Amino acid sequence: MEFIVFVIAAAVSVAAAIAMVLQRHAMYSALFLVLVFFCLAVFYVLLGAYFLAVVQVAVYAGAIMVLMLFVLMLLNVARPESTDRRLASLRPFAVLAGIILIVELVAAVVSSSAAPSATAPAASGATTLAATPTVAVRATATPATYEPAGAVPVGHTQLLAAVLFTRYLFPFEVTSILLLGAILGASVLARKRPQLT
């Protein structure tokens, strides 16, 4: 069942991503990107990251893309992108670089998954509830390891928060300062400048 959902969502996400890149109108690209975000939320649910799936829809599709659509409509760039381009002769090289990159990445993944030392002990049984070997160096400091069935009585969000606010408290606080800086920067950039006569 998970396999079928994965294949469908993967096909839809790749098709929507390609359509997003090839569209002439930026508005259609934005809508296809929203479709990709929803497919990614489906993947997060398949991988057991329920909180992240909801945050993906709420933050990416619900805030970031809305902001982009607002700017798209504000700037009124509805006219289709003209096809003439000063560096059009370099376009095949970009496609070639993309093909080489995808071949490299797929080869790297396939070769590492085929190596016996790299096969994950948990990849073959997500349903096993035994004590899973944690691989990280600082594993003993983690308050909770991630077991899908073990999270049911406690709640996935609570386990995630237990890690976020203990081990990753400092990056959390730094992120709040980052967001404050982003607010200030956006306010400074958006104010009207006095026209130079």
Partner 1 sequence: MPDIASLLAPFQSPVPTSWYLILSAVLFVIGALGVLLRKNALTIFMSVELMLNAVNLSFVAFARQFRQFDGQIFVFFVMAVAAAEVAIGLAIIVDIFRSRNSVDVDDVSWLKG
Site for partner 1 in 136-155 (CB under 8 A): 136, 139, 142, 144-147
Asked whether 51 and 156 are in contact (CB, 8 A), the reply is yes
| 8 lines the binding site for partner 1 (CB under 8 A) | no
Quote the least distance from Cβ 14 to partner 1, whole Å.
6
Residue in 89, 117, 124, 197 binding partner 1, rule: CB under 8 A: 124
The H-assigned helical ranges of 47-168 are 50-55, 65-75, 91-114, 156-164
Residue 77, phi then psi, degrees to nearest 5: -95, 45
The H-assigned helical ranges of the chain are 2-22, 26-46, 50-55, 65-75, 91-114, 156-164, 169-190
Quote the least distance from Cβ 197 to partner 1, whole Å.
15
Nearest Cα to Cα of residue 167 among 178, 159, 177, 157: 159
Residue in 8, 110, 149, 154 binding partner 1, rule: CB under 8 A: 110
Residue in 57, 78, 102, 149 binding partner 1, rule: CB under 8 A: 102
Alpha-carbon gap, residue 162 to 172, rounded angstroms = 13
Site for partner 1 in 42-81 (CB under 8 A): 43-44, 46-49, 51-52, 55-56, 59-60, 63-64, 67-68, 71-72, 74-75, 77, 81
The residue (of 153 and 168) whose beta carbon lies closer to partner 1 is 168
The residue (of 52 and 153) whose beta carbon lies closer to partner 1 is 52
Alpha-carbon gap, residue 21 to 42, rounded angstroms = 21
Site for partner 1 in 175-194 (CB under 8 A): 175, 178-179, 181-183, 185-186, 189-190
